[in-house]
Each structure stands twice: as C-alpha cells, then as structure tokens.
Amino acid sequence: MKKYALLFLSFSLLTASSIARAADEAAAPAAEPTAAPAAAETTAAPAETTAAPAVENVPAVAENLEFVSGEVSAIDETAKTVTVKLYGETENEANDKLLTVTLDTSTDITDGEKDRELKSLAAGTEVDVEYDPATKKATYIFVY
C-alpha cells in the first residue's frame, strides 16, 4: 500500500510541477507582447482622433418623414416641385387634398427598375412620396 501511496504522491508532484512550468511558460510570452501594444497604442491614438468627423459637419437627418400616395396633378421643372393629389384624404377643402413637395439632387425618383427624371413625370401618374413635413422636401418618389 505504501508503494501505491508513494507512486501516487510522486505522480501528483510531477503533475503539479508540469502545471506550474506550463503556467510560467504561458506567462512569459504574455509579458513580451505588453511592450509592443504600448508602441502600437501611441501610433494608433492620433489616427483615432483624426478619423472621427466633427458633429457640426454632419448634415441633419430628418427623423419624422411621412409617406403618402396619390397622383401627380402638376409639375414645375423650373422650381423643381411636384404637386400630388392625395388618396384617402377626407378633408372638405381641395387644398387639404394637395401636397406640393420640392425636389433636389438627392431626391430619388424610381419606378422600381430604373431611376427616373423629373421630366418623365406627367399629370395623372400614380406615385408614392416620402417627404419631410417640416420642409416639404421629397426624399423619395416611387412611380407606378
């Protein structure tokens, strides 16, 4: 029995020393890379500060866009406006059933397959319009 106890004890010590040696070897390489990231951090820090754009240079994004459907009733290519007779409106006044939106170079006009030009729109064309109600600027016009 003593023989087995000694054998078990020596095996346990051998295993413990192997674990300790493996831990030392694992710690040694970890100590070397700590010097290298410090150098990398000093070179990376200026790049991070110059990469972030200033908040004042970013254009404001309209968060409350509205979506309406209707048919084109008038187009003014000079003023770059489109007037749409809205579907589903129940107001009694005719002006409440019309929406005039302005367009610019960022306004997308499409029929789902290809981009379209303002001059390709005609009175009576059915459209969906996404626009900013505060500025009445159209961001997207889908042509049926």
Residues 52, 77, single domain; the answer is no
pLDDT digits (tens, 9 = 90+) for 129-141: 999 999 999 999 9
Residues 13, 77, single domain; the answer is no
State the pLDDT at residue 85.
93
Domain that holds residue 31: 2-57
Residue 72, number of CB atoms within 10 A of its CB: 19
Residues 80, 105, single domain; the answer is yes
Asked whether the CA dihedral 124, 128, 134, 139 is positive or negative, the reply is: negative
Residues 83, 134, single domain; the answer is yes
Residues 53, 105, single domain; the answer is no
Please count the structural domains in the chain: 2
CA distances from 121 to 7, 114, 134 (A): 94, 14, 24
Per-residue DSSP letter, 88: S
| Global confidence as pTM | 0.54
Residue 83 has pLDDT above 80, yes or no: yes
Residues 94, 139, single domain; the answer is yes
**Which tops the pLDDT comparison, 135 or 96?**
135
State the pLDDT at residue 58.
44
